[in-house]
A and B are shown apart, each in its own frame.
Chain A
Amino acid sequence: MIDQFFYTEKGNFMQTLHPAASLTYIAVLLVLVLAFSHPLYLIGLMLSVVLAIWAAEGLKAWEGYMKLALGMAVLIMIINPLASSTGNTVLWLTPDLPGLGVLAITVESIFYGALMGLRLLIIVSIFCLYNQIIHPDRLLNLWPRFFRKSALVVSLATRLFPVMTASLHRIKEVQQLRGVDFQAGTLRQRWGKYLYMFNILLISSLEDSLEMAEAMQARAFGSGPRLRYRRDYFRPRDMLCLISCLLAAGIALYALFDGLGTYSFYSGWGDMPGGSSNLPIMAAILGGLSLPALLSWGAQHCHYLESRI
């Protein structure tokens, strides 16, 4: 039975951010991790994401996420060298494989694979951060005016999800006591027993849906234009985070336009575009992206700062 959101309310600074600010933050992080391919930039991004997760008290959940993502990262690290035979530094030539020919494993392709694995880990970390700081309810509340019916569908389905898992559990017990042995029988029979339960739940829930619709109708749903009830606060901290994120994004765009931040892997080993001019730009971007975590730390240790922002 699942009756808790993945999100847990901890009441920390990161969770008090206005969803518009935190969503912008997440979106900027996502765009940048996909845009940058330069190893230094990616490592820097990873650091600032982990810093934010730390500020959101989510390091424990992050470990779980990393375990989950590691398998996929390894897969990417294996497929990349196999798929690409370009690169100057050949480490090993495979024997003639049927249909594929001779594959060359190069240092560049291994390096690229490792970096893509890192990119995946960062993306997963960003979503971990998302799960730590954005309450589902507040997200649904932010759903644009255009999508009010879909927002209602998602909201109702979300509310029903724990009800459904609990019902499945209950029906399982009832079936068990009517002599259904879920362990016995052929695979087909065992599946059938589970699916019968699912069918019972389906029929009952479809019956209930009429009453839900009636309750919505009785509260004037669909009687004309509808307004949204807003209850999120926009504090100075949200403005600060928003500005710093957008600044970071702007600088990053400029850098990308200038050819910084990307890395051409197969053109030669060790050729870093931009060289040392990367450093100040990188520092600016990462500084902007780390501001929420820094503010959080500051607010925790300085009451005056907390009350001002």
Chain B
Amino acid sequence: MPLFRVENLSYFYPDSKKPALQGINLEIGEGEFLLVTGGSGSGKSSLARAVAGLIPDFYGGKIGGRLYFKEQDIRFIDRRSLAQNIGIVFQDPEKQLVMTGVETEIAFGMENIALSQPEMLRRSAEVMSFFDLTDLKQEFTANLSGGQKQKVALASILAMQPSVLILDEPTSQLDPLAAEEILNLVKRLNEEMNITIILIEQRLERCFHLADRVAVMENGRIIKCATPEETAVWEVKNGYPFLPPVAAFFSHIEAQDIPLTIKTGRKLLHNIYRESNPYQVPAPASEQSDLNAKPRKADNKGDHSIRDCTRRKTDFTLFTIKEKYQLLFSKCRSRAGKISPETPVAQINKLWYTYPNGKEALRDIDFSITAGEFVAILGDNGSGKTTLLKQLAGLIGPGRGQITIMNNAIGNTPPQQLARLVGYLSQNPNDYLFHDTVEEELKFTQANLGQIDNGHIERLLRRLNLYPLSQVNPRDLSSGERQRVALGSVLAASPRLLLLDEPTRGLDQRMKADLNNLLQDLLQTGVAIILVTHDIEFANQGARRLVMLFDGRIACDGPRNEVLGSSMFYVPQIRRMFKGIDDEIFTLREAVARVRPLWAARLIAK
């Protein structure tokens, strides 16, 4: 007997003519771990809400079909026992907590189902120790970190002891460490407590292998629901991007059993490399795998090593693979050629900064960026990333040292003039939107800075795919579109330096790819980009140069491959899997291009 049975479920939101769900058929067994993925607006969240009984109870709208929980129509189960049996955790921890203290927050759900006093005490003690929240129990909830907030939200749900836990993108607003912690807890809940898990996610690196089944959604339909391995193969065949890099890689080379974790993947890779004909392995790779990356770093510096890298990479393409990759790399070479050693767009000399509360946030920073350069700044929370960004934007004056943007020293330059040179996209696109139409929103920045519109806004709208929406209220747009409007309103001033603070939060794979394309185009127009992010995969795709901040200092600054080559933790999954096996490989494309012929040769040999 399945726990959930969904029969032909369709649903429309009250103000919408487009179905959010259509013809969903699904069975979920007890103790199962179901991962639901898909692009933004594919209906994943609506499905989560329907299964939790919030649709249509909370939203209204039109509904068709049936949804049974334990063979009982979910719409006839009373709300209290529904909430007791099915818990749901949402995306944004900021919007789930309602009480002021951690302990009272955890008790909130239990209070609502009117548990007895001793029962509440027992359960809150239990969940607090399971989630390691005992030390925080007196804490004011508003002052917790994002990860802690999400943990409290999860604990509050679990105190009601549900048999099903639904998580709607629980990690999309968290940094990787906190995300990891939440997913580990979810895994334990599934494996040790036999709680049925329905996880909605689009960041799949850490959860794809945990699932028993993976469902892919599009346009309100489930288009595939099978084991992770099967889904991976199917997705690659049909061109869907909702895969973690490891699974995507092995699906691309058409391996029979798809390894889902780095560990099993490496095993297979070792076999492939060992069995393949050594003459087919290009020379630089074998040479490099013997060498530690570090000593090399001392020889090559700055521009030289960038050029060096690109050259070697182009050599490597000539050696091996298909035309489309050649195309890609030739494009990248021409871009590399454009980097001119002219005056830097931004330069930081011996910068120190201490906050009024005494916290020394930046120590001895030396940094410069030239036109057309794309630098990603990595580092954990509190490493000074955001402070550095604010310094560059001129939001806080430098303590000691000097920052110049296009030869304008920050501190002596009026903010208006600075705003013409520096664009800043904050984490929350909603902070930008208050006009009635998208077009006005973009024009606002220009008008403030006294710039004249020579068709720039129109070009921008077209490039951002917002032209058809230019007369729409930005608040009626989806989150991805909102972000493009926010970016547009920043780019309207034609800044020379673009600062991006965690721009990929909540974006799906396709939107990330779009954003990256857009940024690459901007680079070619001579804009310099500084990206602050936790999203290593995204940084890896776009940035040529990486800077690692630690405790307010620059711990490492160099070309992407060099930094990632020597790093152990700030590494994209593919690189991690190939480390020591083939140190030339950093991205999925490179990996596929390299291994596919080896794999084919192996098959032929067999």
Contact = CB atoms under 8 A, between A and B. Distances in A.
Direct contact of A and B (CB under 8 A): yes
B110 A180 contact: no
Contact of B433 (A159, A200, A212, A227): A200
A220 B143 contact: no
Interface in B193-231: none
Given A156-B98, A215-B96, A220-B112, A170 B426 contact: yes
Contact of A214 (B54, B78, B124, B420): B54
Interface stretch (B86-94, B362-370, B519-527): B86-94
B80 A158 contact: no
B584 to A, nearest CB: 40
B515 interface: no
Interface string B108-134: 111111111100110010000000000
Interface string A234-257: 000000000000000000000000
Contacts of A214: 54, 58, 90
A217 interface: yes
B342 to A, nearest CB: 25
Contact of B94 (A163, A173, A223, A228): A163
A100 interface: no
A167 B113 CA distance: 34
Contacts of B90: 211, 214-215, 218
B431 interface: yes
Name the residue in B87, B96, B99, B141 with the highest tally of chain A Cβ atoms < 10 Å from its Cβ. Answer: B99
A224 B138 CA distance: 28
Q: Max chain A CB contacts within 10 Å: which of B98, B107, B448?
A: B98
B80 A3 contact: no
Interface string A147-188: 000001001101111110001001101101111110000000
Contacts of B84: 220
Interface residues of B, number: 71
Contact of A177 (B78, B108, B424): B424
| Interface core residue of A4, A5, A180 (most chain B CB under 10 Å) | A180
A178 B487 CA distance: 11
Interface string B403-439: 0000000000001100110111010101111100000
Contacts of A160: 142
Given A155-B98, A203-B434, A226 B142 contact: no
A214 B112 CA distance: 14
Interface string A200-226: 100110011001111111111111111
Interface in A106-147: 136-137, 140-141
B160 interface: yes
Contacts of B160: 219-220
B83 A199 contact: no
B77 to A, nearest CB: 11
A229 interface: yes
A176 B97 contact: no
B274 interface: no
Contact of B430 (A155, A173, A204, A215): A204
Interface residue tally of chain A, by bracket?
35 or more
B95 interface: yes
Given A174-B426, A178-B444, A223-B78, A155 B95 contact: no
A51 B114 CA distance: 42
A209 to B, nearest CB: 8
A136 B424 contact: no
B397 to A, nearest CB: 13
Interface of B: 52, 54, 57-58, 78-80, 83-84, 87-88, 90, 92, 94-101, 103-104, 107-117, 120-121, 124, 138, 140-143, 153, 156-157, 160, 390, 393, 395, 415-416, 419-420, 422-424, 426, 428, 430-434, 444-445, 448-449, 475, 489-490, 493
Q: Which 5 A-B pairs have the closest CB atoms?
A: A179-B448, A220-B83, A229-B107, A219-B109, A179-B449
Interface of A: 3-5, 9, 136-137, 140-141, 152, 155-156, 158-163, 167, 170-171, 173-174, 176-181, 196, 199-200, 203-204, 207-208, 211-231
